[in-house]
Amino acid sequence: MTAAAVLTTALAQRRERPGADLAESAADLVAAATAMARRFRAGGVLHAFGDDDADARHIAVEFVHPVIVGKRALPAVAHHASRAAHRLHHAAPADLALAVCDAPTLRVTDPSRGPVVAALAAAGERGLLTVALAGRFWAGPPVDHLITLPADDPLVLRELQVSAYHLLWELTHALLEHGPDGSTP
């Protein structure tokens, strides 16, 4: 086997198991999307934030400006992680918070030790639906829906998180259109 073939095989295997684990998270993703659809039906606004502000902006744009014809725009706003906790104190209880936590081995138990953790705690205190996309060692505040993505490689974790929030977007729209609570105009 050539060196290029060995490298290609090693890279594929590095992503194979985490990708299968994401597929095994299907029930958790559907449960989170169902709760998100219910909040949107009730007039809720999605508040997105994360360790990387680009994720928050990406998520908000996906919901506000869908690229698929026929998908309705849903209210969403992106927050810088450092200001999210303060801004969420002004959110409505019908709103929802979606956090992307990049560290695959995050072991935070004190909410004041990180802006994403503090924002999730603030959202929970306010009654928002809380959804977190995190690495396998999440030890932050309790959230309504925790999607743990078990990649040890931070780059693979990022790929899984992007896939997971795209799946949440698609599932939420599918449930709004055809879900158990009826379609939304």
Digit-coded pLDDT (tens) for 134-178: 988 787 889 999 999 878 788 888 889 999 999 999 999 999 988
Digit-coded pLDDT (tens) for 84-97: 999 998 999 999 99
149: how many CB neighbours lie within 10 A of its CB?
Answer: 23
Do 136 and 104 meet the contact criterion of CB atoms below 8 Å apart? yes
Quote the pTM value.
0.85
Do 48 and 76 meet the contact criterion of CB atoms below 8 Å apart? yes
Domains by residue range for the chain, with CATH: 42-177 (3.40.50.10490)
Strand ranges in the chain using DSSP code E only, listed in sequence order: 46-50, 76-78, 96-100, 129-135, 145-149
Nearest residue to 139 via CA among 87, 97, 101, 83: 101
